Structure 1
Amino acid sequence: MMNFSFLPQFWSYFNYGVLVTIMISVCVVFFGTILGVLVSLAKRSGIKPLEWLVSLYVWVFRGTPMVVQIMIAFNLIHMNLPTVQFGILNLDLSRIVPGIIVLSLNSGAYISESVRAGIESIPKGQIEAAYSLGIRPWNTMRYVVLPQAIKNILPALGNEFVTIIKDSSLLQTIGVMELWNGAQTVATTTYLTLTPLLFAAFYYLIVTTAMTALLKQMEKRLGKGRK
């Protein structure tokens, strides 16, 4: 029999955890997108050492498990940062900041491939037309190619957001009090091993479903814009 008697007392753990999860996910997608764009541009720079370096970065982060990256980063990045009050959240920055860094690096490696595909989807004729008008290559990329490429990859960025919401649960391995860690804390405190975890899974499902619905609406609007 399912026992949810813990909810009145421990509901705040789940609310706190989901807020931390969403905050981390927003930061990761923001920094990961910036990094992904820079990596994609570096791959097209024509500077061989730079191209080799960013290719190595993408190869490493796409080819190793995220949980391994998190543990390595936490042991390499020693930060003596305070716990700060942000609204109702008490954020242990010494754990959250390394977590955001490594998740952003991982996300940037994947987003860079989406950006690359978005850039390559732009007709070469537009680039050649910009050059013929005397627009420099960097300005062509900045004002002609990237705005269209980013628009094309918005669905992929949205899917990455949903993925990060789920993958942020791995930060419980370094003690970040996000949703999954909160659920495990409740399970340990109440000795109810199943129902707190089921409730956390339900919370994840609500958040990811809401995000997916929002993304579909955005895709429809973008589709109308193209017509």
Structure 2
Amino acid sequence: MTTFQKPRANPHRKRRDIIPYWLLAIILLGVILGWAIVADSDYRQIWRTLSGGVITTLYVTFIAFALACLLGLAVAMARTSSVRVLREIATFYTEIVRGIPILVLLFYVAFVGAPALVEAFNWAASPLIDAGAMPALTVRNFDLTWRAIFALTIGYSAFIAEVFRAGIEAVEKGQIEAARSLGLSRWHTFRLIIAPQAIRTILPPLGNDFVSMIKDSALVSALGVQDITQLGKVYSASSFKFFETYNVVAFLYLTMTISLSLLVRALEHRMARGRQGER
């Protein structure tokens, strides 16, 4: 009787299949742009001009994203609460904020919300101001960078709240009921049962939101904040080197976003390996 043997898998073919050709193409493009920046004097000047904006971009992004995560988590907890009033308020907040473009929200917070907040503060502190214990605040005391941070925080908190809500609701209710029946408080149930499982669900979309915020941070240039986009806009308008300037702008943003995307992918693979190890 003739027996048929299963053909052996070619290990070299498997290695070729897992090679990320998209990443190799991006690295090649980065090397070409990097060489142009190093070799060309115009590109070097543009790089020196725009490099200061990287710190501002990262500063705005990291603070706004951290605040948006805190606010989004609070909204998500309200949306999954058993108290109907909290659910209705949280749903109203997410639906309204998600329907407003980030740029419109940026202008609204900067030129409507900030003056209203200053007036409210001066009204509350009017006894101290009248007594000369402290000066009255003006809109100029509210830094434009922080106005942009608050606008991004509000805008992204609604999206992040939905991400957190999806992660929380992905945990089986039976596990939550079992934890409560064992005497665990709501906080301990969330920390020990819900959060470890939800983080695996929310990590990919949360990483996507972070990448999107890095790109949307370019909108703060509309307020005159000295980020990468604003510095590039000013330099290109004065030198008329639009092609070279926006090549460097795109290179800087791509470097930040792709690095973050690779970090998120590495975390996803690590969690996947940990999940397989548990099984």
Q: Which amino acid aligns with 1:134?
A: G
Q: Which amino acid aligns with 2:104?
A: V
Output one character per residue of 1:57-85: Cα deviation in whole Å (capped at 9) or x when no partner: 1111111111000011100214434xxxx
Question: Displacement of 1:148 after TM fit?
Answer: 2.4
Q: Does 1:70 align with 2:106?
A: yes
Q: Does 1:150 align with 2:199?
A: yes
Question: Displacement of 1:5 after TM fit?
Answer: 4.5
Does the 8 Å contact 2:47/2:248 carry over to 1? no
Match of 1:114 among 163, 169, 175: 163
2:267 is paired with a residue whose SS is helix
Question: Displacement of 1:42 after TM fit?
Answer: 0.7
User: Does 1 or 2 have the higher relative contact order (CA < 8 Å, sep 6+)?
Assistant: 1
Match of 2:149 among 87, 95, 100: 100
1:6 is paired with a residue whose SS is helix
Q: Distance in 2 between matches of 1:122 and 1:13?
A: 49
Q: What's the TM-score once normalised by structure 2's chain length? A: 0.72
Does the 8 Å contact 2:145/2:225 carry over to 1? yes
Output one character per residue of 1:91-141: Cα deviation in whole Å (capped at 9) or x when no partner: xx7111011111011111001111111011112221121022122334322
1:72 is paired with a residue whose SS is helix
Does the 8 Å contact 1:6/1:190 carry over to 2? no
Match of 1:22 among 45, 55, 58: 58
Q: Which residue is equivalent to 1:38? A: 74
Q: Which residue is equivalent to 2:14? A: none
Q: Distance in 2 between matches of 1:99 and 1:56?
A: 23
Does the 8 Å contact 2:46/2:245 carry over to 1? no
Q: Distance in 2 between matches of 1:51 and 1:96?
A: 32
Runs (5+) with no aligned partner, structure 1: 82-92
Query: Paired residues, what number?
Result: 215
Q: Distance in 2 between matches of 1:189 and 1:5?
A: 17
Match of 2:188 among 126, 139, 155: 139
Q: What's the TM-score once normalised by structure 1's chain length? A: 0.87
Provide the aligned C-alpha RMSD in A.
2.0
Q: Which amino acid aligns with 1:107?
A: Y
Q: Does 1:165 align with 2:214?
A: yes
Q: Which residue is equivalent to 2:227? A: 178
Match of 2:273 among 221, 224, 227: 224
Runs of 4+ in structure 1 off by over 6 angstroms are none
Does the 8 Å contact 2:163/2:205 carry over to 1? yes
Q: Which residue is equivalent to 1:80? A: 140
Match of 2:83 among 16, 27, 47: 47
Question: Displacement of 1:49 after TM fit?
Answer: 2.9
Runs (5+) with no aligned partner, structure 2: 1-35, 116-138
Q: Distance in 2 between matches of 1:190 and 1:181?
A: 14
Q: Which amino acid aligns with 1:55?
A: T
Identical residues among aligned pairs (%)? 32
Question: Displacement of 1:12 after TM fit?
Answer: 2.6
Q: Which amino acid aligns with 2:95?
A: W
